[in-house]
Amino acid sequence: MANVLCNVENEIATVTINRPKAMNALNEDVISELGVIIDDISKRKDVKIVIITGAGDKSFVAGADITSMQMMTPAQAKNFALTTHKVFCAIERMPQIAIAAVNGFALGGGCELAMCCDLRYAADSAVFGQPEVGLGIIPGFAGTQRLPRLVGKAYAKELIFTADIIKADEAYRIGLVNKVVPKDELMAFCVKRAETIKSKAMFAVSIAKAAINEGMDVDADTSYRLEAEKFGMCFSSPDQREGMTAFIEKRKPNLTDF
């Protein structure tokens, strides 16, 4: 694939949006290729963590490709949004943990791509924003939905209504990113975080991811029942018996189930 690259090493898949001359802008081809790669990864047992980043040293994803969107009809624009929603939701719901390594501009669709990942780590040079209203549109790849869930309704409305661009440290302050690191240390840091996560019981990590995501959109009582159900599911995994036995025996567990 020309627009999206994927490299798997040591159970970590690095997925790179590869349009550096276009600041890694998203168009229909990019979304299609990304969808194929995510669908493949989600079925693989040899991949536990996915790191998504952008090619080059300037941009994670600078947004959707405006030149390809300019003459879209309302129906075409809606279809593009729905297609992208499907791919981004696949990232959000895949059993693997998705980490966004935000190495530069994360604007519009780029910010929305980062938000569908489980964790977001940003280079100190990264910037974030949803500038769509300046172009006569709104965020169309779930930015109006995921942003308030991450930073709260007030911050989300301010960012979307003003089209403000914020630096990485401000994104960290409002809870949009988990941590800011020096740019030249970003990928090494993300790999280190990935190694930490995949050293745990990955079946349990995957179940925890599903419990958090599914519980966010239901009432409290339903979410508690959902958690209890998924808690019970963990006891079907060999890692539960091994993890608890190792704890009692004061040794390091041999966790293998995923």
**Positions marked catalytic:** 112, 132
| Residue 151: count of CB within 10 angstroms of its CB | 18
Residue 85 structure tokens = 């929603």
- Show Cβ contacts of residue 130 under 8 Å, excluding neighbours closer than 6 positions: 107, 108, 111, 112, 139, 143, 147, 159, 160, 163
| CA distance between the termini of the chain | 28
Strands 165-167 and 127-129: antiparallel
